[in-house]
Structure 1
Amino acid sequence: MGARAIWKAHICFGSVDVPVKLYSAVQDRTVHFRLLDAKRHEPVKQHMVDPDTGKVVDSADIRRAYETDEGELVILEAGDLEQVTPTPSRDIRITQFVPPAEITHQWYDRPYFLGPDEEDGAYFALAAALRKRGVEGVARWVMRNKEYVGALRAEGDYLMLITLRHAGEVVPASALPRPTGRELDEREISMAKQLVKAMEDPFDITAYHDEYRERVLELVQAKAAGKVVKFPKAPKKQGETSLADVLEASLAASGGKERKRA
């Protein structure tokens, strides 16, 4: 089954107008469980309840409130929120073009593919221009009553749009506490470099899959068939050792793997 478009829009900058379709570039493969009554094995529902009386509060009697820094709750009615809802639009407006290195990984949020809508000449011309210039477009748009900022980039012959986190959501490295303790000696640094070099290998994304999900599905299938599955236990942690000993052991193990591959 082919990918299905979830939204239509126009990429706009200057006098350029490129009609596109938006496709999700990822899919949720998280394991989801149903909640059942322990005795009757019937699905149960979640309700909003009054913490003092334990009684269910009807949805018509529920209001949203925002807690201020002072701890006060400001009640917001539906009409209040409608006043600040962004104006609907189908424009993905490019505000500037920047080198990819300007947008570091911690800013990336969720990726989408953009495909051509109707005439595809302008679409593929834009993808080629981004690829040849080696730049990404910074974009703003409104989708389903929410404002987004994103990076428009070429992905082969196609376009990809990645939503970005907003300023204030990303924690800079400068906010981390500075390392304390002794300085590394030259022997430890040298062995660390050797270990990194020994572990360099072409990246194969297919080798990294959701092992927890696979174990859960195997367990479910086995229980459905009346079988018992035993999974290997995680290895126990060893006692404290020095960094030099750990690096030396890792380097030795890595060297053995290299010899086997050769």
Structure 2
Amino acid sequence: MAQTQSFSFELFPPRTPEGVAKLPAIVAQLAAVKPKYFSVTHGAGGSTQDGTYDTVVKVVEHTGVEAAPHLTCVGSTRANIAALLQRYRDAGVKRIVALRGDLPATAMSPSAPGEFHYANELVGFIRETHGDAFEIEVAAYPEMHPQGSGPIVDFEHFRRKVEAGADAAITQLFYNADSYFDFIERCAKAKLTIPVIAGVMPITGFQNIVRFCTSCGADLPRWIRLRLEELQDDKPALLDFGLDVVTRLCETLLKGGAPGLHFYTINQAEPTLRLWKNLALPVPV
């Protein structure tokens, strides 16, 4: 396996006292396999930015593993973003996941409200104000952004993020490897050479994976959907089937040259670690 392939995990700031209490043990289990970094999300409209900061700091303090906050521009001002960037830089953060963010439910346009309208503007601002102090990662959508007007326009949005200074990209979750390889071919033709890390979500249930795929515009192949629906009342069988499906997907991606995998953990350690073990992924010394 290529030494340059990297593996990382996504967390979200806990929203309940129970979630806060459970997170340290979950992070410790995930940190034991020595991921390259953890990314930490926040809610729509920046609703949990304090939670993001607190989680990032705790991950680094408790594990020594790098943590990267998601930074979105929905509803933000230049002053607000500047203050957040300085706060993260002062805390020793060296990696930012720069996103437009989820639009309000009432939004009538893909342009975000606030002083930044698209992620490329946020990327450009980070470069303008902090140079190369941060490694910037952006989102990629092999199957098109759920609010995209079309594949060509959607790809142009990605191109602008790269040209604004993105260092790497992480894809939205997907279960069709061909969509990823097609996206990589389009990047090559457009001479976009940044690494595009494949975003992967373990399958742990029928209803939840249908909900995730629907919300993010990802295709859940019919054969997978039908099998999951049939197995939804047999949890062990469903977990085994989901593990096999996602293992094959990951193996195909890595053998096909994907520079790494970013696991959407949903703040659960066991499903991701089962997948990690099944793939026999390396643990850095």
Would you say same fold, with TM above 0.5?
Answer: no
Return the structure number with greater helix share.
2
Return the structure number with greater strand share.
1
TM-score by length of 2: 0.18
Structure exhibiting the larger radius of gyration computed from Cα positions: 1
Specify which structure has the bigger relative contact order, considering alpha-carbon pairs within 8 angstroms and separated by 6 or more residues. 2
